Amino acid sequence: MRKHFAIPLALALSILTAARAQTPSPIPTPKEFFGFNIGDNYMLANYSQTEAYLKKLAAASDRCKYTVIGKTEEGRDEFMLVISSPENLKNLDHYKSISQQLAHAENLTDAQAHHLAREGKTIIWIDGGLHATEVAATQQLIETAYQLLSRNDSETIDILDKVILLLTHVNPDGMELVSDWYMRNPVPEDRSLEHVPRLYEKYAGHDNNRDFYMLNLKETQNIARQLFVEWIPQIMYNHHQAGPPGSILAGPPYRDPFNYVFDPLVMTSLDALGAAMSSRLNAENKPGYTQRSGSVYSTWYNGGLRTTTYFHNIIGLLTEIIGGPNPADVPLVPNRLIPSSATTNPITPQKWLFRQSIDYSVSLNYAVLDYAMRYHDELLYNIYHMGRNSIERGSHDYWTLSPKRIDAIDTLAAHAAPPTGTHRRAVVDTLPSRFYDSVLKNPALRDARGYVIPSDQPDFPTAVRFINALIGDGVSVDKATAAFSVAGKPYPAGSYVVKCNQAFRPHILDLFEPQDHPNDFAYPGGPPIAPYDAAGWTLAYTMGIRFDRVLDAFDGPFQRIPYGQLQPPPKAQSESGRYDCRSNASYTAVNDLLKAGKPVYRASRTGDFYTSPHGTGMEKIHPARIALCDAYGGSIPAGWLRFILEQYHFPADVIYPQTIDAGNLNEKYDVIIFVTGIIPSPTDEGYRYNRAEPVADSIPAEFRSHLGHITVQHSVPQLKKFLEAGGHIVTIGGSTALAYYLDLPIHDALVEMVNGKSRRLPNEKFYIPGSVLRMNLDVAIQSTWGMDSVADVYFDQSPVFHIDPKAAVDGSVRPIAWFATGTPLRSGWAWGQAYLQDGVAAFEATVGKGKLYAFGPEITFRAQTHGTFKLLFNALYKSTP
Ligand SMILES: [Zn+2]
C-alpha cells in the first residue's frame, strides 16, 4: 500500500522543489562521464578520473566549490568539495568563523553562543578512500557528490540550506593505485583487488589511519588542518569496509570502553546519530546494520581519522560496509540472524551487488545530513557546550574518573572493612563517601591545569616536533618570551606551555597522561578482549619529552601562538664542533656532514659527535651501507621505518627476500634491518599484512623481485654468513626470532612449566596489547649512546628474553635493556605484568665478526616513538678507531 501512494507523492514534491532550485546547467551523470554507473559490476573509477569529474561538476553547479587542501605524499592534489546552497557558498568565511568560535568556546556567553548557533550552518565532513582497497567507501564519494548536486527533492534543498558539507578524498594516491590495479585486467570477470603490489599510502598503507595525533604524513597534515584548525565540523563521517560477516555494515554507536577524557555529550550524540543512520536504513527496508557489541569497533583509541575527532568534541562516525565490484554473497552466520539491540534488522543470506553498497552508503550520508539539517542549532550549540565544559574543567580542580581511581577506592575500603570472608563486593554495595573523597578529592591526584615543556631539555627539537603535533591538531599553545618559574621551579625563555583550560582539553590530557585501560575480559577468569588498536600510546612518553605537570593555576610571560601556526623546527646545535647525541636532530646533521664527505668522530665515552677529533677515545665514523628488508605488497612497519630513515637522512636500500637468499650480502651491505613480520616467528602467524602472494606471471615484471619470504631453510644460512663475515643485523619485534634460528644462548621469558613442559603464558595470565612500558638500559655500551638509564618503550605483545648464564659469562650475548621491576606499565593495559620482571627487552650478540641487535619492543612504532629511535640509529654507522 505504502508503495502505491509513494510514487505520486514523490513526484509532486520534486515538481514543487524543482521550481525552488535553479540549477544553472545540466549536471553530467557519472555514466555520461565515466561510461558506467558508480556501482556497476567490475568497474572502478580511479583518482584522476574522479578529480576530473568533480571539477566538471563544480563548473556546472552553483551548489559546490572545488578546493584543494594540499599535496599528497606522491604529489597529487587532495580535493575537498564544499557543497551547500549557492547563498551559503558566497559566505563560507563567515560560516567557518562561526564554527571556529563555537568550537573554541572562548569569550562567549551562552546567549551569544545560542545566537551564533542559529546564525551558523552545520558543518559536516564526509570522506572516503582512506583505505584504498575498501572501494565501496571510495566510490560512494562520487555518487554522493552527484546526487547532492543534481537532486531537487525537498530534503536535499533543505540540507543545502542548513548544512555545509566538506566532501573530502582522504587518500588520492591509494585510489589511483588500487583502481588501476583492478582495472588492468581486460576481462571484467577476472578483475581482482587482491595482491596490490605496494602500500596504498606511500609509507603507511593501512596505518594511514593511525597518524592523526602524530601528523607524520602529508595527507594527515592536510586533513587535520581542515578538521581541527580551519572548519572544526560538528560531525565527521569516515567510510570504511568491510562489515562483520553476516552483516551489511557496522556503524555507531560502538562498543565499550570509551576513553575517559571524553565529554559525555560526545557519546550520547553518537547514540543519536547511530539511531538516525540505522533508522533510515530500516525505513528504507535496508537490513543488515550492526552496532555496539555487534562489531569490534570502540572509541578508546586516539590517532585514527575518526577517533581523534572525539578528543575535539566532534561526533566522529565510522561505518564498515561490505561489497565490491565483484558480485558476492552475504554469508550465513546463524547467530547474526537473531534480532537484538546490536542488530535490529538482520540480513538473510543472499547475493550482494556493488550498487547495493553504494545505495546504502548514500542513504547513510543522507541520514547524517538530514540529522544535521534538522538538529542544526543543537549541534552547533552542543560543540560550544562541550568546549565550555572543557574550559571549566581545566580552570578548576578536577578529577577524571578511571578504573585505577576506582580500584584505589576499593583497596581503601577493603583495608578498612572488617574481614567478611569474601574479598569481592557485590555490585550493589555502597560505601561511605569518605572513600571517594580520599581518592577523588585528593589534591595530589588532580588533573593537571597545564604542562611546561622546558626549552633546555637535551632533545629540544623532538619536543618541538611534539608541540607541532599538538598545534597541527588545533591545540592552543603558549611560548615563554622570558625566563619564568612555576611552583618554585625556574624555566628558560623559549619554553612551551600547554594550558588545559581550552576546548580541546581531552586531546591534551590524552597525549600527556597515561591511558588507564580497564581490565576487559570475556567473563571473570576468561580471555582478555583485545582493544581495537593500542591500549596505551601517551605520546609525550614515547617521544621521550621532558615536561612538568602543573596542578594549580599559573601564569608567566607567555605569548599565545595563533591557532595552527606550526613552530620552526630547531636545528641540531653544534657547540665548537660538538653535536649532542642525546638529540635525534644531531643524527640528521651528522648524516648531512657524512654525505658531504666531511669527517665526523664519536667520543666513545659519551657517543657525542665531533667534526674534529677531541682528545683520545675518538672513533671516526662512516656511513654504513644500509638495507631495509621489505615484503611483496609492502610491510607497514617497514614503510614507517623507511619514513624514519628518510626523515633523518640515512640513505638506505629497500630489499626483498630474494636478495637475501641470493647471498653475497657483505659485498653490498654493512647493516640489514628486519622489522616485525619479516622474519617468521615460531610463535607468530608470520606476516601481519599482505602475507598471501600472487603467482609470478600474474603480476607485472617490475614487482616479481618482491615475491618470496624469509625462510629458515634458505635465508637464515645467508644471514649467518653475513654476520660471521662482519655484517650487522638489526631485528625488531617478531623478527628477533632470528636469534633462535641462530641458536644463540637465549630463551623466551614469557613461558610457564606445565606438567614438566614449557609453554607460552596464556592470555588469561599475561596480556599486554599495545602499551607503553618502562625499561632500564645499560648506558655503558654503544647501543645506548644518547639514551638515559630508563626509557619508555612501545610494547605490543612483544618478545621478551632470558639470557642463558653462560652467555653472560663469556659476553657473547649482552643485554641492552630489561624490565627491572614487576610493574613497568606506564600507559595502557598490562595484565600479568609481574611476569616481565628481569626479562630482557633487547640484547646484542656477537656472531663471528658481526653483530646481531635484537629489540623485542617496537622501538620505531609508526614513526611515533622518537624516544627510542636512537637505539636503531646507533647501529647504523661504521667506525674506525
Ligand atoms: Zn578501513
Lowest mean pLDDT among 358-362, 513-517, 570-574: 570-574
709-745 tens-digit pLDDT = 999 999 999 999 999 999 999 999 999 999 999 999 9
Q: Residue 863 is placed in which grid cell?
A: 614513526
For residue 133, report the distance from its CA to the centre of ligand 1, in Å.
Answer: 8
The rounded mean pLDDT for the chain is 94
825-836 tens-digit pLDDT = 999 999 999 999
Residue 513 sits at φ, ψ, to 5 deg, of: -110, 160
Residue ranges in 486-549 assigned as alpha helix (H):
505-512, 539-542
25-74 tens-digit pLDDT = 689 999 999 999 999 999 999 999 999 999 999 999 999 999 999 999 99
- The enclosing H or E element of 167 equals strand 163-169
619-652 tens-digit pLDDT = 999 999 999 999 999 999 999 999 999 999 999 9
Q: Mean pLDDT throughout 190-206?
A: 97
**Confidence bin at 571 (pLDDT 50/70/90):** confident
The predicted pLDDT at position 303 comes to 97
The predicted pLDDT at position 7 comes to 42
Q: Residue 420 is placed in which grid cell?
A: 567478611
Residues around ion ligand 1, judged by CB within 5 A, are 131, 134, 240
For residue 824, report the distance from its CA to the centre of ligand 1, in Å.
Answer: 33
For residue 330, report the distance from its CA to the centre of ligand 1, in Å.
Answer: 19
Of the candidates 241, 337, 335, the one whose C-alpha atom is nearest the C-alpha of residue 288 is 337
The predicted pLDDT at position 691 comes to 61
For residue 134, report the distance from its CA to the centre of ligand 1, in Å.
Answer: 6
Q: Is the peptide bond before 815 cis (omega within 30 degrees of 0)?
A: no
Single-letter residue type at 583: S
For cell 525505513, the residue is 283
Q: Mean pLDDT throughout 175-182?
A: 98
Single-letter residue type at 369: L
For residue 240, report the distance from its CA to the centre of ligand 1, in Å.
Answer: 4
Is residue 425's pLDDT more than 90?
no
Distances (CA, A) of 371 to 40, 126, 169, 285: 29, 14, 22, 19
- Rg of the chain over all Cα atoms, to the nearest angstrom: 28
Q: Mean pLDDT throughout 371-394?
A: 98
Alpha carbon distance 781, 205 (integer Å): 36
Q: Mean pLDDT throughout 282-293?
A: 97
Q: Residue 300 is placed in which grid cell?
A: 578508546
The DSSP string of 838-852 is T-EEEEEEEETTEEE
For residue 764, report the distance from its CA to the centre of ligand 1, in Å.
Answer: 29
How far is CA 453 from its chain centroid? Answer: 24
Is residue 116's pLDDT more than 50?
yes
The predicted pLDDT at position 15 comes to 45
The DSSP string of 176-193 is HHHHHHHHTSSSGGG---
For residue 137, report the distance from its CA to the centre of ligand 1, in Å.
Answer: 9
Is residue 8's pLDDT more than 80?
no
The predicted pLDDT at position 1 comes to 38
**Confidence bin at 24 (pLDDT 50/70/90):** low
For residue 531, report the distance from its CA to the centre of ligand 1, in Å.
Answer: 16
Q: Is the peptide bond before 881 cis (omega within 30 degrees of 0)?
A: no
Q: Residue 471 is placed in which grid cell?
A: 598545534
pTM: 0.95
For residue 304, report the distance from its CA to the centre of ligand 1, in Å.
Answer: 10
Is residue 18's pLDDT more than 90?
no
300-350 tens-digit pLDDT = 999 999 999 999 999 999 999 999 999 999 999 999 999 999 999 999 999
Residues written for the chain: 881
For residue 241, report the distance from its CA to the centre of ligand 1, in Å.
Answer: 5
What is the torsion angle, in degrees rounded to the nearest 10, for the CA atoms of residue 826, residue 831, residue 835 and residue 836?
Answer: -30
For residue 131, report the distance from its CA to the centre of ligand 1, in Å.
Answer: 5
For residue 319, report the distance from its CA to the centre of ligand 1, in Å.
Answer: 9
For residue 520, report the distance from its CA to the centre of ligand 1, in Å.
Answer: 24
The predicted pLDDT at position 575 comes to 82
834-878 tens-digit pLDDT = 999 999 999 999 999 999 999 999 999 999 999 999 999 999 999
The predicted pLDDT at position 688 comes to 45
**Confidence bin at 420 (pLDDT 50/70/90):** low
* Percentage of residues in the chain having pLDDT higher than 90: 91
Residues 362, 137 contacting (CB under 8 angstroms): no
* Percentage of residues in the chain having pLDDT higher than 70: 95
Is residue 173's pLDDT more than 70?
yes
